Structure 1
Amino acid sequence: MASEVTLPALGESVTEGTVTRWLKQVGDTVAVDEPLLEVSTDKVDTEIPSPIAGTIIEIRAAEDDTVEVGAVLAVIGEAGEAAAPAAPAAAAAPAAPVVEAPAAPAAPAAPAAPAAPAAAPAAPAAPAAADTGDATSVTLPALGESVTEGTVTRWLKKVGDTVAVDEPLLEVSTDKVDTEIPSPVAGTLVAIKVNEDETVEVGAELALIGSGAVAAPAAPAAPAAPAAPAAPVAPAAPAAPAAPAAPVAPAAPAAPAAPAAAPAAPAAPAAPAAPAAADTGDATSVTLPALGESVTEGTVTRWLKKVGDTVAVDEPLLEVSTDKVDTEIPSPVAGTLVAIKVNEDETVEVGAELALIGSGAVAAPAAPAAPAAPVAPAAPAAPAAPAAPAAPAAPAAPAAAPAAPAAPAAAPAAPAAPAAAPAAPKPSRSDDQSAYVTPLVRKLAAENGVDLSTVTGTGVGGRIRKQDILEAAAAKNAPAAPAAAAAPEAPAAPAASPLRGRTEKLTRLRKVIAERMVDSLQTAAQLTTVVEVDVTNISRKRDEAKGDFLAREGVKLSFMPFFAKAALDALKVHPVLNAQIDMEAGTVTYFDHENLAIAVDSEKGLLTPVIKDAGDLSVAGLAKKIADVADRTRTNKIGADELAGGTFTLTNTGSRGALFDTPILNAPQVAILGTGSVVKRPVVITDPQLGETIAVRQMVYLALTYDHRLVDGADAARFLSDVKARLESGAFDI
């Protein structure tokens, strides 16, 4: 029986959605809750999951189609119908056990040798199989909640190259992020399983990493196999490797014992991974909180803390962006950040787990998790004492297998030199860590001529982020301005913006603003009426009171609260401008309250926080409220609910010197008032004693944009006339 996938209700006022992208195609097998498509509404962009497991047998709504809530989007067949194609997936599963097998016996390399014979029957003709007998599989990790596959864009290493733990192997691109895949172990890249430009699913095998010694003795590995079973005393090595090493020490093979020590280092790094899991045992989960009535998801823009950092209660952990607001998520408890579950630039739903905070006691084991212990043995600079080589032999489990053929003592002596070479990269690894960047950041640095080695990263673990590159580029260009300033002819020449000549993706907020502005213009019949107002009386009153006002109220007294008060009082007399029209229902709602939206210019873009019941406030109350919401909007501390519910908008278009503008309606409102810059001008006035005369007055233009579907020109003129009269009278209580 087929099951229909419908467009769910995505919010109280959301009635339809547009299909922006299908993530699956007809014939694809899907699991329960696996994302099928992306849908965009005027409130939120989200993914629609599959309600059942099965196969997509029909797609009803094409990309860019707009459908109503409840409309059928696709048809999913029963899980049984997908059973046949599912079988191959099961066949692929055996690849997973291969990954787990080497992971557990990280120290005993000898057991890995028997695994090679098992592979031989499967592909007897492939001698390379012998080389990868004790190799560790590198798989495509989970790169986000909705990311199911990735494309290999570039291999940074080639077969035969030596790699260190966490050294980048390749670059992978997904529909969410471009990133690098690091090596899980130190060793040699013995096989590449996926070529560049190939797309594979999460969990697919990308490459095989063998131990450092495996690459050379790969050929003799076959004959050595019989010898290995003969000397499986190696299993005892993990228990007390020093004992076997002692007997061998008197003989010449003492040298091979040293190489054995070097490979042992990988075994130690494997241990730190286990404690990491244990650290989260008593951890507290940090989830994405509800950020507003219609907000269903958020994007992690920046982590302010990294794993291992100690945090206090309510201390900000990360920054999250939604289509309504950008905000910081605080820590619910005091402790140590033991795990980060969501990477930067990933989008998750409300309630999703972002991180884990452990107790202070748990943090202690987390610190030693760094392979500091292996580093100490790794520098066996004291091989003078015969006993010293025996100690390093403990960390040298992986090289135990090559050490078995102790007969060619001279040969192991050669690997001893390479053992010293890997020791050199160890110290440089910390340097590489600070220079670790994603392909996108590297490309941006190249375009702006920024040397990555000179940039200090502010991302997680010191990672260099896009913002770091932009700031470095701006700093690089800054000296050019002073140079120009040296010439008296052009002292004010500004530094060129690093955005020149670039193409970048629109931010979520910019997209929302763009869509709403265009929608507003296409929906409402917009018209703008402008009047000129003499605010000289207000200016004088303001000059007299602004000092005492600042001391009493704690905020400066600008013209804005006077404009707001005059407009709010006029709205009570002219409710047609404080209304909402519903053409489909054929109704008009006249509000009995005035919720004033204030246009605020922030770094993220234009936002309109709302002052609820503003009509009940005095000039002083409005001044404090306007300053409060504007400040919290610019510092990303405004709540999502405070950005909705406005009935009338006031925008100060004169804040940057503009005389007047033609503002666009903030839908579904039917009016918006723009205030221009207050300037001194000579105007003709009528004086009771002098009659008509010319005087210098403080003048301002007020521009009212209104929806002509509901508001007529006469209504707008009457409203502006009342506002003008109130302002020119200067009759305000401060």
Structure 2
Amino acid sequence: MFWQQSSRAVRQQWRLCNGLRQHVAKSSPSAFIPHPARSFHAARSLLAVKPVLLADIGEGIVECEIIQWFVEPGAHVEEFSPLCEVQSDKASVEITSRFAGVVKKLHYDAGEMAKVGKPFVDIDIQGDVKQEDLEALTPPEAPAEENKPTPGPVAGQSSTISTPGAASAAQIQGSVPSAPAGHVAPISTEQKGKHASLATPATRHLSKELGVELSHVPGTGKDGRVLKEDIYRFLEKRNSSPTENASPEPPTPAGLVSSDIAASGAQEETPMPMTRTQEMMFKTMTRSLNIPHFLYADEVDFTSLVELRNRLNKVLHKSGLSDGQVNKLSYLPFIIKAVSMSLYKYPILNARVDVEGANGNGSSKPTLVLRSQHNIGVAMDTPQGLLVPVVKNVNSLNILGIAAELARLQSLAVAGKLSPQDMSGGTITVSNIGSIGGTYLSPVVVEREVAILGIGRMRTVPAFSTAPGEEDKVVRRQVCNFSWSADHRVVDGATLARAAEVVRTLVEEPDVMVMHLR
């Protein structure tokens, strides 16, 4: 009964209100201004279009190259669906979407450099999303600048701002002077689109070295993939076209030409842009030279290790104990394990220096941060250049495990498929330059590390025997030089010498290493 009376009262009030509105509208139309319909929301609805920031995909990476986009403006994406592929610090990575929605804007074209921590795509996010997740995607707004003058066109340049009332294409075409008769117009360069051409990292490296834009090369591989042969064919066609169109010049005596060149002796300089690997090496080594280095070299006898390695390789070949992972052992796994075992006694070589005091205690003094895992980076020579993948947690691996991980990283490095996880987190580095050549070297300490070991070429030398009673007997020895570099801000020479002595003892007496394997 109460609800029936309430509903009748509401209907009567509604009829009375409509009657008053009609009366006022008829008597004074200007006095009645209808109000727009109001939303029944208690608070203002949030905008769902958010600029997504490019996340940090590796230690020390501040920018990366957009290789290709998998989406276009207006495309619908699901959670974890790929957005683009980027090349960063010698590795290709796919960036996926954190939310489902519709792509509104791409901030970069394929081939451009994207900044880490800056927006790279705008997505109209759909569904229930937490406010803190949206704030994590949005960059902090810069303070608004008041009364900032609008920069005008620079002298000697024309303004390119387009407005709805701008000149039409016919007017623009009419304002451009026509080319004279007989003049060959240069070939127009195609504008780069949102999607780069498909190509392997080795092909991209070749295109950068030769200065060829991949988007201009027609691909003949699978799905239009650009091959190395396509790049060479494109270069041959491009270099031959100016020769065909050029008008013949009058012949010049050969003697006059040679005399002019010999007399002038002009130096010719051809600028060549750096590859992506060279750029990262330039930046990394520039930062590393801020670290005061000191060098410590030692000669190590490999004779016992050579004998042990030969015996183990025979056992692996006959019994098949490698489980198909490693068919032949090299010297590098033994050296890496020896370095890891020395870090237990001298953990300072596995530390890093925190100069900015980012240890959470609010102190601005430099701090030495010790690390428990032995993640040893190994310098490798690849078609893309020098790469340093990391063998993780060496302290928990045996010789076969280290050899298997080295084989996996080597195959990925040659194919250009190393991930950021494979190349990050290193605590100390080993560089085996002796596999290429060279006896002595002075390695450079990598940033966020305090020590590095360089291994020279192994060679056979005559030496006096150490066996009792045979001190005057000359025998053949296999020796190799180890060159250490350390951060002299935190590591002194005596500490590095003692640690190097532990490594030398383990390599010269590999049976001791076997007793301490974990």
TM-score range, shorter chain: 0.5 to 0.7
Q: Which residue of structure 2 aligns with residue 641 of structure 1? A: 421
Shift of 1:580: 0.3
Do structure 1's residue 303 and structure 2's residue 198 form an aligned pair? yes
Equivalent of 2:276 in 508, 522, 534: 508
Asked if structure 1 preserves the Cα contact closer than 8 Å seen for 2:54 and 2:116, the reply is: no
Shift of 1:637: 2.1
Distance 2:60 2:402 in 1: 35
Do structure 1's residue 573 and structure 2's residue 345 form an aligned pair? yes
TM-score by length of 1: 0.40
Shift of 1:93: 6.6
Equivalent of 2:483 in 700, 703, 709: 703
3-state SS, counterpart of residue 462 of structure 2: strand
State the AA in 2 paired with 1:671: A
Deviations 1:365-386 (A, max 9, x none): xxxxxxxxxxxxxxxxxxxxxx
Q: Report the CA distance shift for 1:614/1:160 in structure 2 as closer, same or farther (over 3 A).
A: same
Shift of 1:656: 1.4
Distance 1:626 1:14 in 2: 21
Distance 1:712 1:597 in 2: 22
Asked if structure 1 preserves the Cα contact closer than 8 Å seen for 2:62 and 2:115, the reply is: no
Deviations 1:656-711 (A, max 9, x none): 12112111112111111111111110123322122343221010111111111111
Equivalent of 1:520 in 288, 291, 307: 288
Equivalent of 2:404 in 624, 631, 649: 624
3-state SS, counterpart of residue 373 of structure 2: coil
Q: Give matches, 1:313-712, under 5 Å.
A: 460=224, 466-468=231-233, 503-522=271-290, 524-550=291-317, 551-553=320-322, 554-585=326-357, 586-712=366-492
Q: Report the CA distance shift for 1:46/1:655 in structure 2 as closer, same or farther (over 3 A).
A: same
> Between Structure 1 and Structure 2, which shows a larger proportion of strand residues?
1
State the AA in 1 paired with 2:406: I
Distance 1:622 1:674 in 2: 18
State the AA in 2 paired with 1:626: L
3-state SS, counterpart of residue 439 of structure 2: coil
Q: Give matches, 1:54-133, under 5 Å.
A: 89-92=163-166, 94-95=168-169
Distance 1:13 1:639 in 2: 9
Distance 2:237 2:505 in 1: 53
Asked if structure 1 preserves the Cα contact closer than 8 Å seen for 2:295 and 2:486, the reply is: yes
Shift of 1:303: 1.6
Shift of 1:171: 3.7
Asked if structure 1 preserves the Cα contact closer than 8 Å seen for 2:486 and 2:496, the reply is: yes
Distance 2:390 2:415 in 1: 16
Distance 2:237 2:371 in 1: 51
Asked if structure 2 preserves the Cα contact closer than 8 Å seen for 1:457 and 1:468, the reply is: no
Distance 1:51 1:557 in 2: 47
Shift of 1:549: 2.3
Q: Which residue of structure 1 aligns with residue 27 of structure 2? A: none
Q: Report the CA distance shift for 1:567/1:319 in structure 2 as closer, same or farther (over 3 A).
A: closer
Q: Report the CA distance shift for 1:321/1:588 in structure 2 as closer, same or farther (over 3 A).
A: farther
Distance 1:609 1:47 in 2: 24
Deviations 1:614-661 (A, max 9, x none): 111111111111121112111112212111111011110101121121
State the AA in 2 paired with 1:573: K
3-state SS, counterpart of residue 91 of structure 1: coil
State the AA in 1 paired with 2:430: L
Q: Report the CA distance shift for 1:709/1:322 in structure 2 as closer, same or farther (over 3 A).
A: farther
Distance 1:76 1:171 in 2: 44
Q: Which residue of structure 2 aligns with residue 361 of structure 1? A: none
Shift of 1:570: 0.4
TM-score by length of 2: 0.55
The number of residue pairs the alignment matches comes to: 347
Asked if structure 2 preserves the Cα contact closer than 8 Å seen for 1:555 and 1:624, the reply is: no
State the AA in 2 paired with 1:508: R
3-state SS, counterpart of residue 316 of structure 2: helix
Distance 2:370 2:396 in 1: 17
Asked if structure 1 preserves the Cα contact closer than 8 Å seen for 2:348 and 2:491, the reply is: yes
Identity across the alignment (%):
24
Distance 1:158 1:725 in 2: 79
Shift of 1:48: 5.8
Segments of 4+ moved more than 3 angstroms: 8-18, 31-35, 44-52, 70-82, 85-88, 157-161, 168-172, 318-323, 343-346, 456-473, 500-503
3-state SS, counterpart of residue 165 of structure 2: helix
Distance 1:569 1:14 in 2: 26
Asked if structure 2 preserves the Cα contact closer than 8 Å seen for 1:652 and 1:676, the reply is: yes
3-state SS, counterpart of residue 529 of structure 1: strand
Q: Report the CA distance shift for 1:512/1:91 in structure 2 as closer, same or farther (over 3 A).
A: same
Deviations 1:460-518 (A, max 9, x none): 48897545568999xxxxxxxxxxxxxxxxxxxxxxxxxx9854211122101111112
Distance 1:626 1:50 in 2: 35
Aligned residues: CA RMSD = 5.1
Shift of 1:541: 1.2
Q: Report the CA distance shift for 1:78/1:470 in structure 2 as closer, same or farther (over 3 A).
A: same
Q: Report the CA distance shift for 1:80/1:535 in structure 2 as closer, same or farther (over 3 A).
A: closer
Shift of 1:47: 9.9
The runs of 5 or more residues in structure 1 that have no matched partner are 1-7, 19-30, 53-69, 99-121, 130-151, 162-167, 173-178, 182-201, 204-286, 288-298, 305-317, 327-342, 347-435, 439-455, 474-499
Distance 1:564 1:629 in 2: 15
State the AA in 1 paired with 2:314: G
3-state SS, counterpart of residue 716 of structure 1: helix
Higher RCO (CA-CA < 8 Å; seq separation 6+): 2
Distance 1:703 1:462 in 2: 43
3-state SS, counterpart of residue 568 of structure 1: helix
State the AA in 2 paired with 1:530: A
The runs of 5 or more residues in structure 2 that have no matched partner are 1-52, 64-103, 123-138, 152-158, 239-267, 358-365
Q: Report the CA distance shift for 1:470/1:621 in structure 2 as closer, same or farther (over 3 A).
A: farther
Distance 2:456 2:217 in 1: 46
Distance 1:673 1:635 in 2: 26
